[in-house]
Amino acid sequence: MPSQHLYSLPTVFVLGLVFGMGPCTITCLPFLGPVFLAKHGGINQSWKIILPFSLGRLSSYSTLGIFSGLAGASIQQMLDNFWVACLLGGSTILVGLLIFYRSYRKSGCKGGKRIALQDHPLLPSGLFFMGVGMAATPCIPLTSVIVTAASTGSGLSGFFLGLCFGIGAVIVPALVFGMGMAYFSERIRQILFGWRTRLERASALLLIAMGIFTIGGAVG
């Protein structure tokens, strides 16, 4: 990667960090919030949600940077927003359906056997593609990074620009949701222990509704 572009890496990292402190965390809330309300385990198990979601975002940012650098143009502007919305909305619906499945399966099992939502083999994939779709959604800070990547004319430069922005963007949401949201969600589940199944199903309905609204364009 040409040395003149190395100095832009700290800048895009800070840009991602600032973006992650505000708009990004708020945007992630209606998608990740219901998932934390539906799972048990608190802070100790929060990484099973945060890790695949964050990896999906990092993969998306890096890929956008690579192809923009190779093409010498903003790939983000070439993406069909409908298909990005379908990816984010569809994966959100999948996660909601998995929560429903876990809720009804747990209710029907004998002997009180617990079926852990976070251990379902499809859940990490659903969370990963939620992260991919979330990161591919157009926003002003990311657009600036992608345009910078396109100006380098290098896929490697674009990769590092996208990755540095992504690392900055995922740090704060990972801490907020992995610690704060996980703690308070577990407390709510303890307080509403008798309503736990209803809480899980309400969370699932909220996720499915968010997915449908996202595909329909009501959620940007």
* Count of domains observed in the chain: 1
Distance from C-alpha of 74 to C-alpha of 177, rounded to nearest angstrom: 31
Q: What is the pLDDT of residue 113?
A: 47
Q: Within 10 A of 131 (CB to CB), how many other CB atoms are there?
A: 29
Domain that holds residue 75: 3-216
Q: Within 10 A of 119 (CB to CB), how many other CB atoms are there?
A: 12
Average pLDDT for runs of 10 along the chain of length 220: 56 92 87 86 85 95 91 70 86 90 63 49 88 87 88 90 95 92 86 81 91 79
Q: What is the pLDDT of residue 6?
A: 42
Q: What is the pLDDT of residue 102?
A: 78
Distance from C-alpha of 203 to C-alpha of 190, rounded to nearest angstrom: 16
Using an 8 Å Cβ cutoff, are 134 and 210 in contact?
Answer: no
Q: What is the pLDDT of residue 128?
A: 95
Distance from C-alpha of 24 to C-alpha of 65, rounded to nearest angstrom: 19
Q: What is the pLDDT of residue 66?
A: 93
The identity of residue 15, as a single letter, is L
What pTM value is reported for the model?
A: 0.83
CA dihedral defined by 182, 92, 218, 177, rounded to 10 degrees? 20
